[in-house]
Amino acid sequence: MAVGHDGLLEAIDDPSQYSISRVAQSSLPIFIPWHREQKHITCGFQSVNLTSPDGPWKDASPFLESAVYRSKCQTKLENGAAREVEGHSASNSITSEHLSGSLGVSVGNAVVEVGVTASYDQQMQELTNASRASHSSRFRCGRIILVEDPPFSNDAKTLLQREDGDKLFAERYGDYFVSGYVLGADSGGCLAASASSKRTVETLTTEVNVKVLWISYTSSTSTTDIQQTCSMDLTFYGYDTLNGTNLSKQAQAGKSTQEIRLAAQGCIDNSNNLQLRLKQRMSELGIEDEGTMSVAKCSKAVEGGVVVELILTPFRTLKEYIHCIYEGKRKRAIQATLEGDEAGQMERKTGR
């Protein structure tokens, strides 16, 4: 299921976050599941800011704005890779508790003796049954990628050529940028049912013994209270990236399940027709194999729900990035040499 920034970067212990950090350290491309939130191609991403309140995305871009405007993206469609997954699970549990206790009090004298005894007993048993069935479909049919990386702006090149330029560059622009989109669609749903019953039996017994001289009297009373409750919940969750929907329907015992039935049937229909629906949507958006479009027009693919992943490329793999780092080191080396020569000349003059 595709998610945005809030869902993707929630907890630091999330395995997906650890994977992103590890991949970033190796300077490898990163593929992030996505939805309809607009992140245009060339948008910057800072991998170390995964848990930052402001998020990992950067507003500033190192690329020359006019060059980005003129840049072209190309669509590369494939026959497609489809995957369907079904899952079923069931569980049940029984919980039993037993509590009992008694208390006795007696008073008296040489003539009368009175004793009272009370006992309490409680037995509770709870039975829970749960079952879950899920179905998901996914289809990947190609990519939209930059034909050629736009050049850096003068400010970005100057920043890179400074000492620690790579760190300064990452702080301002990020260490990755969106270089393309993965095209496809996801659809699925999960139906969960749970039922529970609880039975509690409480018994209170009271016994009074009275002895007057040599005559004894005994009286006892007992009350039993039985409580039994039953509950049943039916929940359906569904999602579809082409429709941009996330459904959550719930029904309890005694309520109509018609709404859940219709939602589940709609989800099944969407999943079964996912490939056909995706093909129709791509045609409506004018996305064709080997077709070209501007960076701005690529946003239509995101709005149309056919972008399921963002392709992030590290800046440090770009030729211009490497060249700027090298140029910065070369200029600093030349400057250091010149400063050394000047210092030597001053020493020689002083020696004279």
Residue 261 lies in a domain: yes
User: What parts of the chain have a pLDDT lower than 50?
Assistant: 1-13, 15-16
Residue 350 lies in a domain: no
Residue 351 lies in a domain: no
pLDDT of residue 108: 65
pLDDT of residue 337: 83
Domain that holds residue 56: 5-343
Residue 352 lies in a domain: no
Total domains, the chain = 1
pLDDT of residue 64: 94
pLDDT of residue 4: 45
With beta carbons less than 8 A apart as the criterion, state whether 74 and 207 touch: no
pLDDT of residue 93: 87
Residue 84 lies in a domain: yes
pLDDT of residue 204: 86
Residue 77 lies in a domain: yes
Residue 349 lies in a domain: no
Residue in 46, 42, 47 with CA at minimum distance from that of residue 70 = 42
pLDDT of residue 51: 82
